[in-house]
């Protein structure tokens, strides 16, 4: 599933932003650049609404901002690594540096759940997280995630 969804233009080792909202906006821009987000404002609102209900900051420096929205017709995902530590109101109260964003159409849960399951299995592994954080290029990051 990761190989099907992630491509070189949907991963970055140099995610811009200093705040939670900056990061969400930068990740969304990566997805918008594919031409497969029909309405950026609608997608952003869905992401921010979801965040306001419950932070998507997990543990181990990972955050997974996500939303279901009519702005997309298929599962879209991207991964960004920040050189900065960003406060994402995480469960373990530690800042995040690895960000995975997913947008999926309303009413379709299968692909969304499968993608999140695969990425969380991968990032449970401390060595994989270290490799993700130390990736020097987008191509290297993609290889770690889909290898």
> For residue range 80-119, what is the model confidence (pLDDT) as tens digits?
999 999 999 998 999 999 999 999 998 877 777 888 888 8
Tokens of 123: 């990032």
Task: Give, in order, the Cα–Cα distances in Å from 57 to each of 37, 62, 96, 137.
Answer: 23, 6, 7, 24
Domains of the chain: 2-146 (3.40.930.10)
Tokens of 70: 């009519």
- In 3-state terms, what secondary structure has residue 4? helix
pTM for this prediction: 0.94
Catalytic residues: 66
pLDDT of residue 16: 96
* Tens-place pLDDT, residues 19-52: 999 999 999 999 999 999 999 999 999 999 999 9
- In 3-state terms, what secondary structure has residue 130? helix
Tokens of 67: 């939303």
Residue 76 pLDDT greater than 80, yes or no = yes
The half-sphere exposure of 129 on its side-chain side, counting CA atoms within 13 A, is 15
């Amino acid at each position: 599933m990761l190989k099907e969804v992630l491509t070189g233009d949907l991963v970055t080792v140099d995610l811009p932003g200093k705040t939670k909202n900056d990061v969400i906006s930068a990740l969304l821009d990566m997805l918008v650049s594919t031409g497969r987000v029909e309405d950026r404002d609608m997608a952003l609102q869905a992401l921010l609404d979801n965040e306001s209900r419950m932070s998507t900051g997990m543990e181990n420096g990972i955050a997974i901002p996500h939303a279901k929205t009519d702005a997309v017709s298929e599962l879209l995902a991207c991964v960004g690594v920040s050189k900065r530590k960003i406060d994402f109101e995480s469960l373990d109260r530690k800042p995040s540096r690895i960000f995975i964003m997913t947008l999926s159409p309303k009413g379709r849960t299968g692909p969304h759940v499968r993608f999140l399951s695969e990425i969380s299995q991968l990032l449970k592994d401390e060595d994989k997280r270290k490799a993700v954080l130390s990736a020097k290029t987008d191509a290297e990051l993609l290889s770690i995630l889909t290898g």
